[in-house]
A and B are shown apart, each in its own frame.
Chain A
Amino acid sequence: MTVTDTATTGHEAGRVTVLEASSVTMRFGGLTAVDDVSMRVHEGEIVGLIGPNGAGKTTFFNCLTGMYVPTEGTVTLKGAILPPKPLKVVRAGMARTFQNIRLFGNMTALENVMVGRYCRTSSMALTSILRGPKFKREEAATRERAQELLDYVGLGRSTELLARNMPYGDQRRLEIARALATDPQILLLDEPTAGMNPRETEETMGLIFKIREGGLAVVVIEHDMRFIFNLCDRVLCLVRGSLLVEGTPDQVQSDHRVIEAYIGGDDEEESV
């Protein structure tokens, strides 16, 4: 892995900002899950998001992708403010995966990815019923693109398998393929290696680099520190909802506050 070097040099000002979250705050009743967090992601950059359990990472993701309406703050994608509606966020070009895999278990791998193409295709009821040339063209294109993406993430041979019958690691990859099918400019990965063995983790890392090389920005939540520090250009550490440290992997790694936070971190569950 020599990519780390290029990554560190890549983190410089003057590059195009893809995603900008400014002062995002999320409160549930009296509980402040995310407190005034700002984040900026540039083109072709891999940003890591770490923090102990319950630090609000997934909640922050949910705010970014419109699944939660943030109490305060705005999220902009390529300069345009994102409305807090998942649908519009995806259309604008941000896709995600889930911490606890949320595939469509009873669909085949191919169909899962084809669902991802939904927002980039347009056949509606009448077209589907009449089955004109436009419909056939679009359907063929969808299928082709989905197969391409499966090949891309290394699942080319599992096309017709039901998602629920696939091995755990493959399910994570399939989720990434499904997210990529929405033609995103930025990809949010929520613990993409959770439950993976070291070899699978390594493969996933390769895949993320490959995605970045395609010009996408990537934000990753992960508990595996080694993975994060090898992968990311920049790392943000959240603790109890607020941003503690931001910097290069080396900076964050050596920051004593981060270490303290991890040792003293409480073990509260968080979910989507």
Chain B
Amino acid sequence: MSRRILPDSVRATHGPKAPWLALAGGILFLLSGLLSWSYDDRILGDLSIRFYPAGIQLYAMLFGVIGVILAVLLLRRPPWLSPARGLRILGTTGIVFVVWIIASVAYQSGGLINANEGGWVALVGAVLLTLAGHLSPEVDIDVRRWPRLSSTLEIVIIVVLMAILLFTVAYTLDIQDGVIFASFLIALIGLAGGLLGTGFGGYLGFIGANNRRPLLLAAFLVAFLFPFTQDGSDANMSIATQVLIFATTALGLNIVVGLAGLLDLGYIAFLGTGAYVAAMLSSSGFATIGWKPPFVVVMLIGAATAATFGLIIGSPTLRVSGDYLAIVTLGFGEIFRLAMFNLDGNNGPDLTNGPNGIPAIPDLELLGFDFGEVHTVAGIPLGRFSNYYFVLLLLLMFVMLVFTRLNNSRIGRGWVAIREDERAAEAMGVNTFGLKLLAFSVGAFLAGLAGTIKAHQDTSVSPDQYVFLESAFLLSAVVLGGMGTVVGVLVGATILKLLPEKLREVNDYRLLVFGLLLVVMMRFRPEGLVPSKRRQLEFHEEDQELSELLQAEHLQAEHLDPEQLEPEHLQGAK
């Protein structure tokens, strides 16, 4: 998958210079961190001071560090690493990074004149790194030929990586300035890409595949530890809980869209159903139903109601073509919103308080644990949102479990068959209607479940929280992240919820960019950022090369390459 921009002849004659170019680039980057980037000391956390790097200057120096490491590696020409790819990624991202910062400096301080020497030095460095990457020879790497570590050591690597991840996330969320936040993200992509692109990433993937359970465990551990890094502050936790709710709902939608291949444009209504049921049965002073059962019962009622709506809306429309389903679900979403809007006693019975919604929903209280209180664990205070965070994390884990287990079962195979060729699937005895309805109602059920918690977390429900745009957002989390995968949805949900929260400066253009993103994604990468292989194949039906590539990967994953067949890892992969 290497893109060769330079002609082979140039690569041949100038190839040997590549390590030195890279070294120069790296050193320039390191140097730039010690220089001043901006004349104006009020912006971007003050980049005007020389020989005292901070913030963005520090990120630039990290580019330098990795650049130098890769240059040294390139000099020693190890046969099992491909620094060229790493350099290309590092260099290209470096250019983006520097240009972004120079542009921000120029914009915020009112002119390019305010961009000081540091940025320009770094820009030269980035160009040199990129050039070196394109000049140096490509090495075919097979990570499985790397020396094997003991399995304990592999697990240690995983744990260390997860710890790094935890710190990075905590650090990232602490950045308040939108521009610095964006530049850190760019830097992160460049640095991680530069290191992992060398083949290290493939190796990590290999280790991960061999230790799937420890990896999962470590990932969840990291997620559970996250609130402890926040030192009792609720600011980031509030965002985190919203990311979790969004991710959970999007994952439910991914069952419908990604697995069963049904386009649901009114999915938010199911989340709303759960939330409204929880609100109506809560002990809020505005609740319209006198009955106030314990929350576990409420959860089940909410989810069951949502699932019932799913069945009601699904059973007539799933018989006709998928396009109709999309529009009918859209209509259903509108019906839901309008009904919630109307059922206020003026028009129909008083259930929802109409447009005003049901506010003042009290915090959850489960087994004597009050979610509204601050609890101190190991000396670290955990506020209200941290409490919800834990519950939501459990819910997310449950939805992930449902998702993966359904996918890897008879039902999952049926869904694939339906996506591939519905008529043939039916002719082969697959109950297509039943399976589609199942996907639809399971998706609704899970969304309803999430909704019941959301109502308490939000403390209020109102119809304007459940508009079509929210459904579109959920759908794009799935589309952006990757259809049919868990990781994809997590990535998509995080991007869609976190970025607007952090980049408030450009908030007005959020929807515009988002619409454009959908079109561009469908055009160039319809399968999403982290797609399932099968989904990728489906979206590239005519791409024979891709199918053979993925085929080879599949065989590799199944350890069918006779040379590499190692029984213990076969077990690990299952």
A binding-site residues for B, Cβ under 8 Å: 65, 67, 86-87, 90-91, 95-96, 98, 102-108, 111, 114-121, 123-125, 128-129, 131, 135, 138-139, 142, 160-162, 164-165, 178-179, 182, 272
**Which residues of chain A are near B555, meaning CB under 8 Å?**
160
Q: Name the residue among A98, A106, A128 with the largest chain B CB count within 10 angstroms.
A: A106
Cα–Cα, bound, A118→B416 (Å): 12
Between A and B, 8 residue pairs with Cβ closer than 8 Å are A65-B427, A90-B427, A104-B416, A106-B420, A106-B547, A119-B431, A161-B551, A165-B547
CA distance A182 to B425 in the complex (A): 12
A27 to chain B, nearest CB (A): 21
**B395-443: which have CB < 8 Å to A?**
401-402, 405-406, 409-414, 416-417, 420-421, 423-432, 438, 442
Residues of the A chain whose Cβ atoms lie less than 8 Å from the Cβ of B423: 67, 102, 272
B416 and A128 within 8 A (CB): no
Q: Is the CB of B409 within 8 A of A118?
A: no
Q: Which residues of A contact B431 (CB under 8 A)?
A: 87, 118-119
A139 and B423 alpha carbons, distance in the complex (Å): 24
Interchain CB contact under 8 A, B420 and A129: no
Shortest Cβ distance from residue A187 to the other chain B in the assembled complex, whole angstroms: 13
Q: Which residues of B contact A138 (CB under 8 A)?
A: 410
Residues of B within 8 A of A120 (CB): 429
Known: A102-B424, A160-B558, A162-B547. A129 touches B417 (CB 8 A): no
CB distance from B376 to the nearest CB of A (A): 36
A90 touches B428 (CB 8 A): yes
Asked whether B409 lies within 8 Å of A160 as measured between CB atoms, the reply is no
**Chain A residues near B554 (CB-CB < 8 A):** 108, 160, 162
A86 touches B426 (CB 8 A): yes
CA distance A170 to B91 in the complex (A): 47
Q: Which of A65, A91, A107, A272 contacts B534, CB < 8 Å? A: A107
Q: Quick check: B429 and A91 within 8 Å, CB to CB?
A: yes
* Cβ distance A59 to chain B, nearest Cβ, rounded Å: 15
Q: A102-B424, A160-B558 are in contact. Are A128 and B430 (CB under 8 A)?
A: no
Chain A positions within 8 Å of B427 at CB level: 65, 67, 86, 90, 96, 98, 102
Closest 6 CB pairs of A and B: A119-B429, A90-B429, A128-B409, A102-B424, A104-B420, A106-B537
Give every chain A residue within 8 A of B560 (Cβ-Cβ): 160
B548 at the interface (CB under 8 A from A): yes
A123-B410, A129-B402, A165-B548 known; A182 and B420 CB under 8 Å?
no
| A98 vs B424: C-alpha distance when bound (angstroms) | 9
Is B534 within 8 A of A121, CB to CB? no
> Distance (Å) between the CB of A139 and the closest chain B CB?
7
Residue of B nearest to A106 (CB): B537
Would you call B40 an interface residue if the criterion is a C-beta within 8 Å of the partner chain's C-beta atoms? Answer: no
Q: Which residues of B sit under 8 angstroms from A90, Cβ to Cβ?
A: 427-429
**Cα A247 to Cα B553 with chains together (Å):** 52
A107 CB contacts on chain B under 8 angstroms: 413, 416-417, 420, 534
Interface pair A125/B438, CB less than 8 Å apart:
yes
Query: Which residues of chain A are within 8 angstroms of B547 by Cβ–Cβ distance?
Result: 106, 162, 164-165
Q: Are A165 and B551 in contact (CB under 8 A)?
A: yes
Known: A128-B406, A129-B402. A162 touches B425 (CB 8 A): no
Judge if B334 is at the interface, Cβ distance under 8 Å.
no
Q: Which of A115, A124, A125, A131 contacts B425 (CB 8 A)?
A: A115
Alpha-carbon separation in the docked complex, A98 to B425 (Å) = 12
> In the bound complex, what is the Cα–Cα distance between A114 and B412 (angstroms)?
11
A102-B421, A104-B421, A164-B547 are contacts. A123–B409 as well, Cβ < 8 Å? yes
Q: Which of chain A's residues have a CB closer than 8 A to the CB of B550?
A: 162
CB-CB < 8 A to B344: which residues of A? none
Distance (whole angstroms) from the CB of B570 to the closest CB of chain A: 13
Return A85 CB to nearest CB of chain B, in Å. 9
